Structure 1
Amino acid sequence: MLLHTRSAGSGVPVVLLHAFPLSSAMWHAQREELSSRYRVITPDMRGFGESPLGDDPPSIDLMADDVARLLDAEGVDRAVVGGQSMGGYVTMAFCRRHADRLLGVVLADTKAGADPPQAALNREAMAAAVLEHGTSVLSEQVLPNLVGETTKTGRAMVFGRVRALTSVAPPRAVAWAQRAMAARPDSFGTLRALQVPALVVVGEEDGLTPPAEARAMAEALPYGSLAVIARAGHLSALEQPEAFNRALVEFLGGLRAR
């Protein structure tokens, strides 16, 4: 399967993988900012945006292999690969399965630990509810936790955009992704073995994958650094794009210097 992608710019390839349950549309501000210096590749993960879901069993590893196939199709040997939330899970699977294709790694508002049993059960319940009742379930149960208090109370346009992106997520893709995330393994060993520079980003108001999780990941990485985005929750790239982009540009500039 070949993923649909939005790409812009030229230079060092930077692949950005979107959060659940959004699409590559969430990376608009990053494509705008980075494309003057980098080749920015932002795919729709399978089932989301314009990418087909297919008939394969749910698997984060399969999503990582999708990204490797996309790089092949784009003629890219090695790239900076990063992701937010679910995109971070896929990035860590990519690190485990395709480490030789990495120039650097970005892990934003995500976590390296596997789901504990209750969290996995909650994902299965969400998958079943979405298949039965549609994506309105996401607005009630998922949307409130995706953004921080600053966005909820003071950035109505941003909150509205997140709501709109969430509302168009296909139910089958949502259920498939929830089951894939529930089955993902612990990735701390993968982080400890990573031999390229890595940036961990987290919104200071992120309640789903809080700053303590991000610090643990940064400490596990041999060449890791941490950036905390003020006044942002779980979708820091959307909530505070200027601050997120500054952290990303600084990290990428360090890679170019190397």
Structure 2
Amino acid sequence: MATLLAVTDPGDPRLADYVRLRETSLRRLLETEHGLFIAEGAKVIRRALEAGYQPRSFLLAERWLADLADLLDQIDAPVYLVTEELAEQVTGFHVHRGALASLHRHDRYTVADILARSRRLVVLEDLVDHTNVGAVIRNAAGLGWDGLLVSPRCADPLYRRSIKVSMGAVFSLPWARLAGHRDAPELLHEAGFTVAALALAEDAVELAGFASRLGASDKVAILLGTEGDGLSRRWIKGADTVVRIPMRAGIDSLNVAAASAIACYALAP
């Protein structure tokens, strides 16, 4: 059973996991060093625990205690009870959902696992916005895709903002980080995938036309590039085909999260 501990000092060292959650660079260093990640909100915390992640601690406003009472009865971890004002002092923002958890980070899947178990796979190259990563994960999971691979420099799927935007789908969609960047298309080909790069190119085919040539049993991987420059030339060159979403009104492309939703829907098995 979890241990309830009232905390009144924002400088209490026991709250170190929750300090300045909006400062991305600081959090990346802290979370990597200590092997942790932060889940926000009772629903997301519940999904993380159900997925098998082990808690380090909880930071709760007392009025949110009841929402997690059944889980806390089964867990041996400290629960730091604070006022919402103190939570804001520690984290640097107003915790609207009143509940935070620090959990042990671990890799649930390898790249080989993802390649072996997937027929529909999303691959992200160097996305820098955690919101976009979370949205892509939610889209892929909700539209029936099997897994996700991210490049070495891609934003962290387990960063608090990514988790929040994905609505906890990051805990249900298998994902892994590629060890290297350059040879991702070759790796996908070796695993039997048809590789489609979503990019603006003169030889790009329309998404609907590409979709019409696929069967439900075909293994398909879509490549999505960074918010500014899109996919690298190497990844585009390594793809079997370049695919585009037809646009109007002089607009050349969509936000990467929106494009992922359309592509996942059109190419769903």
Does TM, normalized by the shorter one, top 0.5? no
Q: Which is richer in helix?
A: 1
> Structure 1-normalised TM-score?
0.30
> Structure 2-normalised TM-score?
0.29
Q: Which has the larger radius of gyration?
A: 2
